[in-house]
């Protein structure tokens, strides 16, 4: 148990885990000691920088969501992955750790013997998915070896499948197959990419202006600096929402602003947000510069043609303007979806009130914006991210009653893949027995391997 918990601690700490992967890749290439040490430390450094930027962004964006609720007097559920996982781990920590560790092994096996050549390196998201799968299988009555094997097969499958699903769009954004997207929001990102194709054509020939080609007038040329444009746009959003909150709920707003004047607060938080994005992009550049060459060893020795699947901020560097546009469009989509949910309840159709969470709409909405931009340019980024905001809201609402049945009241997952997996397998538990769930997991895991050695090989 102590060993399992130690492995879980390493794998769920992205910086250490990815640093060890980089070290393994360099050792497999028989690099000299100096290169191994440098590559390992620089990879860890890059992820620490990336995480520091993400924490800075979250620190600035979470109050925005709270102020938004005060300003418009809305009550409901803000989807949050960490909130659900913290509850799940209090009940099933041992089982989650076991499925998490075995699922990583299953992912490598699937990458080695199928055409889905993706190693999922976003450790904390893999842990979250392991927790969700554990909860569902426990409620279905699985235990012991059956629980661990079934959970590992399911986790290994989704860790390879979702990056595989996204790779054509990631290739459009990045320009090659050096990296993949290892983040469980892929279903909604894929939808955004398909929406982009409507504007860009199947081959992208009609893509037109991209988010990075926006031509600012001479007097506004300073907006070409992403740090300035992000800070100014966030200030406008923060200022409007904070002003309404000060008028409608002055006492509650004062608790957030503290002793600071609310205008000064909005200025500081807006620039803090921009600083966080800047740090994230710096971390992304460090990670890509180190992990891609290091991963060559794993690709050549352990899993031929393997591709590292990394966290969603890895996409931000390829279209920085799309990051801000995607966040704004996704957030607006989330508001529209909330209004629809309110209308449904008014019409007598029970539905959870899913409030637009600023974290999911920034990180996931920004990624959707990059994906939409890759396939459809500026129009694809705007519409794709807008649809993303709608999709994640309704998926979270769909998962909410299932989470309640699992014993998690008042919360639900936010990112699309968690909600899709939860809805599908949470529903299956009602209609098929334990044997059926084991069979489904085995078939899902085996199919890509069978295809690779039969139809896939013949096709090649």
Q: What is the average pLDDT across 204-219?
A: 71
Q: Report the first-to-last Cα separation within the chain, whole angstroms.
A: 44
| Dihedral angle computed from the Cα positions of residues 10, 14, 20 and 25, in that order, rounded to the nearest 10 degrees | 140
Residue 150 φ/ψ, nearest 5 degrees: -60, -45
Q: What is the average pLDDT across 436-459?
A: 86
Position 181 scores a pLDDT of 94
pLDDT in tens, 288-327: 777 767 766 776 778 888 898 988 888 988 888 898 899 8
Q: What is the average pLDDT across 328-351?
A: 89
Identify any residues that bridge with 307 across adjacent strands, giving them in sequence order.
118
Position 460 scores a pLDDT of 43
pLDDT bin (cut points 50, 70, 90) of residue 167 is very high
Position 404 scores a pLDDT of 81
Q: What is the average pLDDT across 27-31?
A: 85
Q: What is the average pLDDT across 255-280?
A: 87
pLDDT in tens, 367-380: 999 999 999 999 99
Position 204 scores a pLDDT of 59
pLDDT at 360 over 70: yes
pLDDT at 110 over 90: yes
pLDDT bin (cut points 50, 70, 90) of residue 159 is very high
pLDDT bin (cut points 50, 70, 90) of residue 88 is confident
Q: Describe the strand order of the beta sheet including 118-120 as a list of residue ranges.
A: 118-120, 307-310, 180-181
Tokens 């993303």 sit at which residue? 388
pLDDT at 94 over 60: yes
Q: What is the average pLDDT across 248-261?
A: 86
pLDDT in tens, 392-423: 999 999 998 888 877 777 778 889 999 999 99
Give, as one character, the DSSP assignment of residue 120: E
In angstroms, the CA 286 to CA 295 distance is: 14
pLDDT in tens, 118-157: 999 887 788 889 889 998 888 888 888 999 999 999 999 9
pLDDT at 223 over 60: no
In angstroms, the CA 155 to CA 129 distance is: 7
Tokens 């629809």 sit at which residue? 340
Please state, for a pLDDT cut of 90, what percent of the chain lies above it: 32
- Annotated domain spans of the chain: 2-459
- The pTM (predicted TM-score) of the whole model is 0.81
pLDDT bin (cut points 50, 70, 90) of residue 381 is very high
Position 15 scores a pLDDT of 77
Position 206 scores a pLDDT of 61
Tokens 């503290």 sit at which residue? 258
- Which strand (E) or helix (H) includes residue 118? strand 118-120
Contact predicate 330/29, CB 8 Å = no
* Among the ranges given (15-29, 52-66, 205-219), the one the predictor scored with the smallest mean pLDDT: 205-219
């Amino acid at each position: 148990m102590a060993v399992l918990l130690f492995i879980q601690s390493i794998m769920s700490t992205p910086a250490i885990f990815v640093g060890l992967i980089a070290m393994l890749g360099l050792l497999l290439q028989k690099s000299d000691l100096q290169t191994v040490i440098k590559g390992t430390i620089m990879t860890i450094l890059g992820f620490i920088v990336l995480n520091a930027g993400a924490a800075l962004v979250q620190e600035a964006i979470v109050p925005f969501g709270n102020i938004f609720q005060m300003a418009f007097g809305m009550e409901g559920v803000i989807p949050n992955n960490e909130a659900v996982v913290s509850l799940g781990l209090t009940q099933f920590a041992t089982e989650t750790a076991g499925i998490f560790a075995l699922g990583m092994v299953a992912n490598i096996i699937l990458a080695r013997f199928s055409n889905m050549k993706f190693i999922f390196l976003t450790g904390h998201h893999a842990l979250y998915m392991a927790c969700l799968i554990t909860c569902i299988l426990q409620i279905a009555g699985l235990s012991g070896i059956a629980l661990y094997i079934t959970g590992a097969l399911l986790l290994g499958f989704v860790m390879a499948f979702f990056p595989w699903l996204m790779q054509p769009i990631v290739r459009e954004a990045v320009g090659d197959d050096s990296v993949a997207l290892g983040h469980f929001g892929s279903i909604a990102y894929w939808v955004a990419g398909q929406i982009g194709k409507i504007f860009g054509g199947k081959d992208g020939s009609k893509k037109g202006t991209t988010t990075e080609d926006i031509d600012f007038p001479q007097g506004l040329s300073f907006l070409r600096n992403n740090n300035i444009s992000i800070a100014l746009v966030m200030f406008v959003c923060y200022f409007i929402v904070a002003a309404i909150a000060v008028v409608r709920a002055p006492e509650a707003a004062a608790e957030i602003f503290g002793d600071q004047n609310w205008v000064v607060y909005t200025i500081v938080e807006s620039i803090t947000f921009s600083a966080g994005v800047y740090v994230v992009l710096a971390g992304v550049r460090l990670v890509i510069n180190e992990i891609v060459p290091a991963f060559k060893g794993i690709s050549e020795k352990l899993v031929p043609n393997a591709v590292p699947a990394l966290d969603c901020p890895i996409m931000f560097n390829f279209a920085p303007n799309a990051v801000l546009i995607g966040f704004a469009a996704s957030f607006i989509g989330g508001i529209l979806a909330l209004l629809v949910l309110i209308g449904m309840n008014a019409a007598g159709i029970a539905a959870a009130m899913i409030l637009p969470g600023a974290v999911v709409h920034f990180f996931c909405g920004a990624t959707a914006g990059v994906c939409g931009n890759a396939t459809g340019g500026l129009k694809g980024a705007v519409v794709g991210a807008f649809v993303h905001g709608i999709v994640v809201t309704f998926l979270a609402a769909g998962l909410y009653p299932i989470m309640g049945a699992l014993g998690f009241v008042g919360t639900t997952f936010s990112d699309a893949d968690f909600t899709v997996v939860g809805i599908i397998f949470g529903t299956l538990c009602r209609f098929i027995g334990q044997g059926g769930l084991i069979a489904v997991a085995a078939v899902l895991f085996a199919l890509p391997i069978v295809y690779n050695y039969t139809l896939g090989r013949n096709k090649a």
